């Protein structure tokens, strides 16, 4: 086996190597090579400084890249939300909502329409507030309906 101290250098080897390489210390690269190196170093420093500048920007001023399909889906969902908001059939006045939300208490026959309220003496009207909303996760409230209506309650 090799001993750990087998690769000792002779003291005169270092001086011989220095003498052989001393002529290379005085060689300078050509002017075009020096200019290219300095240009490459300057470009690397500029990109490093711009990366640091972007890192120190507040979050609302930073840019991000979003894949095209994700952006298209987001725009489609927003367009559908806006279109459903301006549709006229979903908007009801509080009076229409009150009539719609009251359930029939009695039916006077199989062929007749049920009545909204009967004339019982133990029932009295109570003003009730109702609010309904449609939410989409990540976007927020899409549509809401609010209103007061009268509801019959037993005493």
Q: Split the chain (155 residues) into runs of 10 and give each run's mean pLDDT.
A: 59 79 87 94 87 73 87 93 75 54 50 55 78 84 83 73
Return mean pLDDT, the chain. Answer: 76
Q: What is the pTM of this model?
A: 0.26
- Other CB atoms closer than 10 Å to residue 137's CB: what's the count? 5
Count of beta carbons in the 10 Å neighbourhood of residue 98? 19
List of E strands, the chain: 123-136, 140-154
**Rounded-to-integer distance, Cα 153 and Cα 99, Å:** 15
pLDDT on residue 68? 93
pLDDT tens for each residue of 8-45? 655 667 888 888 888 888 888 899 999 999 999 999 98
Query: DSSP alpha helices (H): ranges in the chain?
Result: 11-25, 31-55, 68-85, 94-101
Q: Which H or E element spans position 27?
A: none
pLDDT for residue 107: 46
């Amino acid at each position: 086996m090799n001993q750990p101290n087998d690769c000792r250098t002779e003291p005169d080897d270092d001086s011989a190597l220095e003498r052989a390489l001393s002529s290379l210390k005085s060689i300078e690269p050509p002017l075009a090579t020096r200019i290219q190196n300095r240009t490459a170093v300057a470009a690397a420093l500029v990109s490093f400084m711009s990366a640091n500048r972007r890192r120190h920007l507040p979050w609302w001023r930073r840019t991000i890249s979003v894949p095209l399909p994700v952006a298209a889906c987001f725009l489609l969902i927003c367009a559908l939300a806006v279109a459903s908001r301006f549709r006229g059939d979903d908007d009801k006045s509080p009076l229409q909502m009150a009539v719609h939300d009251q359930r029939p208490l009695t039916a006077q026959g199989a062929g007749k329409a049920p009545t909204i309220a009967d004339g019982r003496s133990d029932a009295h009207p109570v003003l009730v507030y109702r609010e309904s909303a449609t939410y989409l996760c990540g976007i927020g409230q899409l549509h809401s309906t609010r209103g007061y209506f009268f509801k019959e309650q037993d005493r």
